């Protein structure tokens, strides 16, 4: 789960990380009031859940209230990579001597949390990692001890040189680690972390992602969720025990298991078609799930054909067939459907479907070819 | 021979009185797996499918000499169950539970290392040595005894491919589903090494998917250390970046973890990558023919 910058800033503040003042605004008049109240140079920043806001023109420096109003007018309502800007942050534009990067991630390879820091702040860290990986300091944190003060200080010293500044930065690193662990984050970035001419160290932009599997024990984080339209569909599907992701194609897929669902999408593409979605109905055989899944697939107006691909292990093919029969009774659709059943009780499942006249096939490849053919009619 | 589980496996089922635990205890029992105990706090003295239930893994190990554990408890309690097994001296833990928080696994990992406990999963279908021991939720009827080692990040895709292997007369030494989570136990390299050292395994089929760089590391290991042929398939070639494809680990982030990168790495290591699952038996046949 992702959150906005203004939300990340609030979490940082709650944990004592110094962050410049800011006000969240939904309208131009709110922007005007915020700029007037701050009474100094501000930066107006689009709040959207996608990277690259600066490049898209979603971040503007404003020296006067009029500048801020102009920036608010421009940014509110603009489209950044398909995301409409509905709110902006008006933040104190502090003077910057130098920009740094600091971030924490769950590292698959070391099976631990890794601290990353760089003197190349303010730019996309992926770019730094690609072009000058030697400029990123990586420190693997022992989960049994956490990030210790001296470790944070040593990393900070490499960035700042001066021990007083390093102590300030190290305190931010350990606070960031604490909040990372306590909120079940998967990513916590301060980029840039800045040094001001007054020798203050401040976080002026933040990005955080959280572990979906841990949201059950993070009510405060869950309350910050602001899903867009696609995500609302995905969340609704999740509540029904389905894992659904909408794509741009026209062949709806219903599959049991995530790996097989991905392979099914790949196969449709391989034979020249285009998948409309990823949909994993999971491991159980509940007929209701099949009905819910069909409802989602047929709710997508782009879908011209449906491919059902079930390899019965724990899932029984006859249960899937029964669910499909029920679904067809209520849905009354003329979208063509191809069914592939294999594995546990496949013969029983196919017998149940016989009376429906639906085309049934025994292999994935055949199913994909047939679905593509039907989608073109 | 085989890897990790065999006729000497003495299994304890953690969460044996739950719906899934009970159901799969029945299926594993039927397959011939030597299930010696179950654990369900508060239910010591009961039996499930003829298996005696204990209050703790420690009690179960003392009474039965169990050496392997399978975990069916809900995700929120999985880390606790894994540690309980490890502290009780279990050498191999298979965690089926789905949806375990990543940081729980990060905290568990160093303790398992200290205790010398091997872990498979979480969020995995388990493993099987055909004809000897099934420790997991894999559908037994598709497996067959033979000489192919099998490793996969996915569940049903495993069944799909194993079924194709069996139909093409490629039986298996051991099939391992390592699970779809970003932080998990034994991974490709750990298992490739075991298959390389297993005299009965003549070739390995590896099923990867998008996300992370474990496939790239496996490719490097194969190029440097393996004498046995490996054939691969990567799921998620058409997955868009930034979207999590069901498995918590299956996500392409900022241009890395793509199928294209993984396929390129395997090709550089001399590992053929199938365009679709149906192609795997043929690639395997070709690779084995090259050996002769």
Among residues 58-77 of chain A, which lie with CB inside 8 Å of chain B? none
CB contact under 8 A, B157 and A212: no
pLDDT of the residue at A323: 85
Smallest Cα distance from B269 to chain A, Å? 20
Backbone angles phi, psi at A115, to 5 degrees: -90, 130
Kindly name the residue from B10, B153, B194, B247 that is annotated as catalytic.
Answer: B247
Collapsing DSSP to helix, strand or coil, A124 comes out as coil
| CA A134 – CA A154 distance, rounded (Å) | 17
Smallest Cα distance from B63 to chain A, Å? 32
Please return the burial class of A180, using the count of CB atoms within 10 Å of its CB with bins 0-12, 13-18 and 19+.
buried
What residue in A sits closest to B164 (Cα-Cα)?
A363
- Measured between beta carbons, the chain A residues lying within 8 angstroms of B236 are 262, 265-266
Sheet architecture: strand order including B126-129: B133-136, B126-129, B172-177, B145-152, B203-209, B230-235
Phi-psi region of A197 (alpha: psi -120 to 50; beta: other; left: phi over 0): alpha
- Confirm or reject contact between B163 and chain A (CB < 8 A): yes
Smallest Cα distance from B292 to chain A, Å? 31
| CA B213 – CA B187 distance, rounded (Å) | 11
| CA A106 – CA A115 distance, rounded (Å) | 9
pLDDT of the residue at A327: 83
- Measured between beta carbons, the chain A residues lying within 8 angstroms of B138 are 313
- Confirm or reject contact between A267 and chain B (CB < 8 A): yes
| CA A135 – CA A113 distance, rounded (Å) | 19
A175-193: pLDDT as tens digits: 999 999 999 999 999 999 9
Average pLDDT over residues A341-366: 87
What's the pTM?
0.91
Collapsing DSSP to helix, strand or coil, A209 comes out as strand
pLDDT tops 70 at residue A277: yes
What residue in A sits closest to B279 (Cα-Cα)?
A365
Provide the token pair at B158.
């495993």
Tokens 């390995």 belong to B204
Q: Using DSSP bridges, classify how beta strands B172-177 and B126-129 pair: parallel, antiparallel or unpaired.
A: antiparallel
CB contact under 8 A, B237 and A269: yes
Average pLDDT over residues A255-266: 92
- Confirm or reject contact between A140 and chain B (CB < 8 A): no
pLDDT of the residue at B263: 95
If you compute the radius of gyration of chain A from its CA atoms, what whole number of angstroms results?
Answer: 26
| CA A278 – CA A265 distance, rounded (Å) | 7
pLDDT of the residue at A346: 86
Backbone angles phi, psi at B285, to 5 degrees: -60, -45
| CA B217 – CA A127 distance, rounded (Å) | 22
Nearest to B72 by CA among B45, B48, B107, B89: B48
pLDDT of the residue at A81: 85
Among residues 328-357 of chain A, which lie with CB inside 8 Å of chain B? 342-344
Kindly name the residue from A6, A101, A177, A244 that is annotated as catalytic.
Answer: A101
Smallest Cα distance from B288 to chain A, Å? 25
Nearest to B119 by CA among B218, B219, B189, B187: B187
Q: Are A245 and A232 in contact (CB under 8 A)?
A: no
- Confirm or reject contact between B214 and chain A (CB < 8 A): yes
Provide the token pair at A224.
């910050």
List, in sequence order, every beta strand (DSSP E) within chain B. Answer: 11-14, 35-39, 47-48, 51-54, 68-71, 92-95, 118-120, 126-129, 133-136, 145-152, 172-177, 203-209, 230-235
Nearest to A341 by CA among A351, A331, A355, A328: A351
pLDDT of the residue at A234: 82
What value of ipTM does the predicted structure carry?
Answer: 0.90
Q: Within a 10 A sphere around the Cβ of A334, how many other Cβ atoms?
A: 4
Complete DSSP assignment for A178-189: HHHHHTTEEEEE
Picking from A211, A256, A269, the nearest residue to B103 by CB comes out as A211
- Confirm or reject contact between B121 and chain A (CB < 8 A): no
Which residues, in sequence order, are bridge partners of residue A340? A309, A361
pLDDT of the residue at A344: 79
Collapsing DSSP to helix, strand or coil, B21 comes out as helix
pLDDT of the residue at A241: 84
A16-32: pLDDT as tens digits: 999 999 999 999 999 99
Q: Are A323 and A289 in contact (CB under 8 A)?
A: yes
pLDDT of the residue at B253: 65
Provide the token pair at A188.
């916590």
CB contact under 8 A, B163 and A344: no
Nearest to A208 by CA among A181, A241, A172, A239: A181
Residue B255: band (very low, low, confident or very high) from pLDDT cuts 50, 70, 90: low
Nearest to B206 by CA among B154, B129, B258, B139: B154
CB contact under 8 A, B212 and A108: yes
Picking from B109, B156, B275, the nearest residue to A256 by CB comes out as B156
DSSP at A88? E
| CA B100 – CA B119 distance, rounded (Å) | 14
pLDDT of the residue at B252: 65
pLDDT of the residue at B145: 97
pLDDT tops 60 at residue B284: yes
DSSP at A344? T
DSSP at A83? E
Q: Which of B82, B232, B246 to mutate to test the interface with A (most CBs of A within 10 A)?
A: B246
- Measured between beta carbons, the chain B residues lying within 8 angstroms of A126 are 254-255
Q: Are B248 and B123 in contact (CB under 8 A)?
A: yes
Phi-psi region of A111 (alpha: psi -120 to 50; beta: other; left: phi over 0): left
Residue B133: band (very low, low, confident or very high) from pLDDT cuts 50, 70, 90: very high
Helix residue ranges per DSSP H, chain A? 5-14, 28-38, 65-75, 125-131, 149-160, 163-182, 219-222, 229-239, 258-270, 287-299, 317-331, 346-354, 364-375
pLDDT tops 80 at residue A171: yes
CB contact under 8 A, B154 and A314: no
- Measured between beta carbons, the chain B residues lying within 8 angstroms of A262 are 154, 157, 209-210, 235-236, 238-239, 245-246, 250
Smallest Cα distance from B197 to chain A, Å? 23
CB contact under 8 A, B109 and A111: yes
Residue A254: band (very low, low, confident or very high) from pLDDT cuts 50, 70, 90: very high
pLDDT tops 60 at residue B254: no
- Percent above pLDDT 70 for chain B: 97
Smallest Cα distance from B229 to chain A, Å? 23
Q: Which of A234, A259, A320 to mutate to test the interface with B (most CBs of B within 10 A)?
A: A259
| CA A30 – CA A71 distance, rounded (Å) | 12
Complete DSSP assignment for B110-173: HHHHHHT-EEE-SS--EEEETTTEEEES--GGG--EEEEEEEES-SHHHHHHHHHHHHTT--EE
pLDDT of the residue at A89: 96
| CA A136 – CA A115 distance, rounded (Å) | 10
Provide the token pair at A246.
């909408």
Which residues, in sequence order, are bridge partners of residue A103? A116, A189
Tell me whether residue B24 is one of the annotated catalytic residues: no
pLDDT tops 60 at residue A362: yes
| CA B275 – CA A266 distance, rounded (Å) | 9
Tokens 């662990």 belong to A181
Provide the token pair at A294.
């069909």
- Measured between beta carbons, the chain B residues lying within 8 angstroms of A233 are none
The sign of the CA dihedral B259, B264, B265, B269 is positive
Angle at A291 between CA A285 and CA A292, to 5 degrees: 100
pLDDT tops 70 at residue A285: no
Provide the token pair at A195.
């040094």
Residue B257: band (very low, low, confident or very high) from pLDDT cuts 50, 70, 90: confident
pLDDT tops 90 at residue A82: no
CB contact under 8 A, A314 and B139: yes
Complete DSSP assignment for A264-308: HHHHHHHTT--B-EEEE--S---HHHHHHHHHHHHH-TT--EEEE
Residue A317: band (very low, low, confident or very high) from pLDDT cuts 50, 70, 90: confident
| CA B167 – CA A311 distance, rounded (Å) | 15
Exposure of A75 in the CB half-sphere (CA atoms within 13 A) = 31
Q: Are B14 and B69 in contact (CB under 8 A)?
A: yes
User: Is the peptide bond preceding residue B113 cis, with omega within 30 degrees of 0?
Assistant: no
For the ranges A257-261, B89-93, B237-241, the one whose mean pLDDT is highest: B89-93
pLDDT of the residue at A284: 63
């Amino acid at each position: 789960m992702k959150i906005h910058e203004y939300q990340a800033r609030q979490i940082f503040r709650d944990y004592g990380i110094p962050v410049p003042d800011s006000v969240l605004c939904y309208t131009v008049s709110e922007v005007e009031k915020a700029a007037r109240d701050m009474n100094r140079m501000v930066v107006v920043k689009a709040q959207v859940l996608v990277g690259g806001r600066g490049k898209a023109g979603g971040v503007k420096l404003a020296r006067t209230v009029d500048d801020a109003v102009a920036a608010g007018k421009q940014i509110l309502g603009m489209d950044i990579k398909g995301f409409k800007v509905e709110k902006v942050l008006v933040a104190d534009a502090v003077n910057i001597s130098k920009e740094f990067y600091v971030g924490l991630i769950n590292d698959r390879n070391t099976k631990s949390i890794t601290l990353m820091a760089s003197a190349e702040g303010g730019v996309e860290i992926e770019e730094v990692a690609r072009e000058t990986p030697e400029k990123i300091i990586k420190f693997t944190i022992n989960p049994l001890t956490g990030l210790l003060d001296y470790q944070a200080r040593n990393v900070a010293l490499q960035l700042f040189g001066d021990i007083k500044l390093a102590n300030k930065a190290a305190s931010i690193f350990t606070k960031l680690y604490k909040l990372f662990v306590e909120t079940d984050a998967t990513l916590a970035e301060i980029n840039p972390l800045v040094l001001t001419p007054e020798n203050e160290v401040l976080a002026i932009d933040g990005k955080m992602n959280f572990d979906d599997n841990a949201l059950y024990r993070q009510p405060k984080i869950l309350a910050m969720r602001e899903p867009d339209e696609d995500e609302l569909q995905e969340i609704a599907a999740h509540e029904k025990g389905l894992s659904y992701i909408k794509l741009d194609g026209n062949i709806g897929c219903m599959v049991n298991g995530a790996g097989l669902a991905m392979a099914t999408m790949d196969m449709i593409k391989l034979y020249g078609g285009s998948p409309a979605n990823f949909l994993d109905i999971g491991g159980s055989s509940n007929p209701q799930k099949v009905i819910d899944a069909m409802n989602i697939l047929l709710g997508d107006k782009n879908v011209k054909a449906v491919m059902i691909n079930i390899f019965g292990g724990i899932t029984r093919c006859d249960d899937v067939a029964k669910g499909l029969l029920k679904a067809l009774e209520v849905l009354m659709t003329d979208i063509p459907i191809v069914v592939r059943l294999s594995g546990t009780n496949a013969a029983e499942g196919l017998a149940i479907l016989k009376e429906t006249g639906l085309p049934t096939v025994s292999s994935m490849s055949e199913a994909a070819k047939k679905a593509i053919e039907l989608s073109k009619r | 021979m085989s890897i990790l589980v065999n006729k000497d496996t003495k299994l304890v089922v953690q969460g044996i009185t739950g719906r899934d635990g009970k159901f799969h205890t029945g299926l594993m029992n039927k397959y011939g797996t030597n299930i010696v105990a179950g654990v369900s706090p508060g239910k010591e003295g009961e039996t499930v499918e003829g298996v005696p239930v204990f209050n703790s893994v420690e009690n179960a190990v003392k009474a039965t000499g169990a050496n392997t554990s399978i975990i069916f408890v809900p995700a929120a309690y999985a880390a606790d169950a894994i540690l309980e097994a490890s502290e009780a001296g279990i050498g191999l833990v298979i965690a089926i539970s789905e949806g375990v928080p990543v940081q729980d696994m990060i905290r568990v990992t160093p303790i398992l290392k200290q205790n010398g406990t091997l872990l498979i999963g979480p969020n995995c279908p388990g493993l099987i040595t055909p004809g000897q021991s099934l420790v997991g939720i894999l559908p037994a009827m598709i497996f067959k005894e033979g000489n192919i080692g099998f490793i996969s990040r996915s569940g049903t895709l495993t069944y799909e491919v194993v079924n194709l292997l069996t139909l093409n007369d490629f039986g298996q030494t051991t099939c391992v589903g390592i699970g779809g989570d970003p932080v998990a136990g034994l991974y490709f390299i750990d298992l490739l090494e075991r298959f390389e050292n297993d005299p009965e395994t003549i070739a390995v089929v590896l099923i990867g998917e998008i996300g992370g760089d474990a496939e790239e590391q496996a490719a490097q290991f194969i190029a440097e250390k393996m004498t046995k042929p490996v054939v691969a398939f990567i799921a998620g070639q058409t997955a868009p970046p930034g979207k999590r494809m069901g498995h918590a680990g299956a996500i392409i982030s900022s241009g890395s973890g793509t199928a294209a990168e993984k396929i390129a790495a395997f090709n550089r290591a001399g590992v053929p990558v199938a365009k679709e699952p149906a192609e795997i038996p043929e690639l395997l046949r070709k690779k084995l023919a090259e050996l002769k």
